[in-house]
Structure 1
Amino acid sequence: MEQGTWTASLLSFVGLSACSCESTAVGTHDTEVRTTSMPEVKPAIKIISAVEVDEEIRLTVMLFSGRALILQATSLQTVADLKIEIQNKEQIPLQEQLLVFNAQPLRNTARLCDYGIGHDSSLNLVRVMPLELKIMTARAKWNIRLQPQDTVAEIKTFVNEKMSIPVEQMLFICRGKPLEDGPTLQEMGVQSGDQVALILRLKGCGQFIVETDEGDSFRVDGACADRTVADVKTAIRDRTGLAPNEQMLSYRAQVLEDSNTLEHYGIKRECKIQLTRRKQDGCRENCCFCC
């Protein structure tokens, strides 16, 4: 009996010891429950970026003649690409085409998907009179045809292809006012036959203010330390049409010489320069600068 009791006690002790390794420890007076904590596993987060799919779509273009033209296109195709296809099929000049979808005119640089144009969409083609513009630069002049719904981006692209001038350095002036990037040419009052002058925005340069004797003022790009007064007069000519030999510039009551730089006179961005028109021989009128 004693040997059997001792054997049962030993087996009981061994069983309890084995269990204590897993989750339970037995003491003399109390019992402590221990749980083994597993390392926290964070779920893997996959970032899925939206991928634009260039889907093939079929479009119906209602021509101004009343006939329907069926075209095959893609959703990432631009409006200009679609107009080129219409030009090839119907012999309608690109500059005379205006595509409309849901009463909204479509811009050449936009894609079809930007307007929500999908499979079996219907567009209307309106014929417009193009704008005949003359682009004036220091080295060349061009005549181009644009649509009233085009923006200045179309002009910048044209000049970039011709002269490889960075688009961000271009500033166009029409009728004495700069052309902004957002509005259409029609919204800015540009008309057929207008002259558009190109002014270069040099990197690291700002603008200075030109004041006339009449009290008017306007801003001109080119406030760079290495620019000469002659360069400034050229910029003013592009801005106002006043020839450099008719300009007399002064800063702080000092007349500026053409060969000197702006740094020579301490002229920086946002400085004010006075502009006076020189009296020319034979000038019989009291123009605004000749008083």
Structure 2
Amino acid sequence: MGAQLCSQADAKVPPETLRFHPEAKGAQVHLDTQRSTACRCATFHDGIVFSQRPVQPGERVALRVVGHQGGWYGGLRVGFTRLDPAHVSAPSLPPFLCPDLEQQSPTWAAMLPNGCALAGDVVCFWVNRRGWLWAQVNAGPRLLLRKGVRMGAPLWAVMDVYGTTKAIELLDPATSALPTAAPWALWEDTRLSEPDATAGEECIICLHRAANTCLVPCGHMHFCSYCAWRVFVEVAKCPVCRWEIEAVVPAPGPPAMKTGEGLPAWVADWA
């Protein structure tokens, strides 16, 4: 009997459901009574919010965009911070997560691609043990948002209800019904926001949008983000070398064809 009680005590306790911290929040943020929904009341900034507890490496932070507002450029920002929100004075929070809070504290965050998280969409984000910040919209492909998150200390989730994102609701991945299919509208919105290319920098698929995206791990960068994502979703193989695509990331600098030993260092590190 005693051994059974010890075994039960040693069993892993499920983590507390994520909620927004009640005090550490931007000047324009209003929380509901359950602290699961955060709404930005006015303007396009001052929408920073934190989780009430640290998040473990690999643990998914799931949220639904429940409010969208046109007229702004850019939307939801997500990331992680070593700032304990219990020790954060709300009036001291800057208006922006990126880059203000990142510059003022050990915080690592990124903006989701413009137009990819609209009202009703579910966003999951997490950091792995290598310090890479990932996100996923609905059941779409994983997005590598950034590297360099410093591990080895507690990390709280931090979000910025910014710009076109008006309100978000935290979800419990264990109990919420998350989407099983990615709406094609995600890629259509990406296409509409793509810039036209200057001569010599065209996407080799559509021939008119700017080549601004890199396929990982092969490193080919002659694609606009719309065409790159569509190839990733439909066939997951590079049109140039036929390597399997593992991620689609923004291309650093001007487009260039690179394979094998010519891979940029940051792509080689990913592989």
Q: Same fold (TM over 0.5)?
A: no
Q: Which has the larger radius of gyration?
A: 1
Query: What TM-score bracket applies, with the shorter chain setting the length?
Result: under 0.3
Q: Relative contact order, CA 8 A, sep 6+: which one is greater?
A: 2
Bigger fraction of residues in helix: 1
Structure 2 length-normalised TM: 0.24
